[in-house]
Chains A and B, each alone.
Chain A
């Protein structure tokens, strides 16, 4: 039973009907991260998928851009409670990158330049659910929003969409990432409001 706060009426936006529980709408694009923004050189940029046997599948920046890209318009939901609707991204589907990857692993640990990590089941990255995105609203993705490229996995809270992404380790057993070790939920479904560890 919630406590009613005297004199609070709130501001109800019509679009709030599209929002997961506990979220509010923003039209800006707030930036949240744990440390300084890494500056990533495109000449040395790499994206590597490592399978559970240690095999590595690596793409350079040029190779990534040569792959077929998709443009997708999605809603994004940050665990700090802002949501932004109908954002448009361009990038490479993880299905494309995983085409030749041999694996029986169930889990993924995503790695970023700067040392950030985040975990999720591998199936959440496949079947049209995730991209390596390098353009946002028609422009090159800026470094503060994760450029040159970030993971985009919009059906989970946005900390899972790792900025400055550089690789994915495939794991037989789930391993918590950076925020997942610091009290945030291992899966992070905004519609089930899985914000913190035991939600």
Chain B
């Protein structure tokens, strides 16, 4: 018998909004029902296509915020000022509304529950989203991989998933408005654990990822263990 490799084009699928919930004043989680969703790995993203009545359409990529749960898929989207797609998703979309999705996309910035860890997650702002999918996947699978999360945000009102973060080894760094002993300020080498053979995932705006990558190398992490995902200064 020869092995049969089935390769299937990634199709556009109809997504129906099941529910929405607010994460911050500018971000919300959208829970979708997507019949035929093939499943995904924590850290992957999805392409979203919105179509206007005259056929004009716009597409963007968004990180999946949670592990696959059958046909149910979760995104968290932050509104980009002057954006074309994100203001619609954050401000307009209601349960039962429909659009199209395609995915999952991306096979590098991923974590499988079979991996023993340790894992260090470093998030800047909305860069928490794919990292939260990893945190949730670890909990779902009952993995005991050691996870450490360092999460940089402007202030307490900008934290996504606040109630769930209490369940992991999470340090929140505030850059503008601090609570707790650490003074408000940008991330420094002292905010990051030293290398302990951890696989490191860094996600955030370009400048943040660049800074953190350099700090990690300074702290002795091996470049080969560092995986990055960046949000450009633009977007939509």
Contact = CB atoms under 8 A, between A and B. Distances in A.
Interface of A: 2-12, 22, 24, 26-38, 80-82, 114-115, 144, 178-179, 181-183, 196-199
Contact of A80 (B9, B61, B209): B61
For B10, B58, B100, B206, the residue with the greatest tally of chain A CB atoms inside 10 Å of its CB is B58
A1 to B, nearest CB: 10
B2 interface: no
B52 A8 contact: yes
B180 interface: no
B105 A2 contact: no
B232 A3 contact: no
Interface string B176-218: 0000000000000000000000000000001001100110110
A138 to B, nearest CB: 21
Contact of B99 (A5, A27, A144, A179): A5
B107 A183 contact: yes
A31 B206 contact: yes
B7 A197 contact: yes
B105 A183 contact: yes
A26 B80 CA distance: 13
Contacts, number: 125
B107 A27 contact: no
Interface of B: 7-10, 12, 14, 47, 49-53, 55-61, 84, 88, 92, 94, 97-100, 105-109, 206, 209-210, 213-214, 216-217, 223-224, 226-228, 230-236
A12 B120 CA distance: 41
Contacts of A2: 12, 49, 51, 55, 57, 100
A100 to B, nearest CB: 35
B223 A8 contact: no
Contact of B234 (A12, A82, A114, A198): A82
Contacts of B47: 81
B52 A9 contact: yes
A28 B109 CA distance: 24
Contacts of A29: 232
A28 B234 contact: yes
B232 to A, nearest CB: 2
B223 A198 contact: no
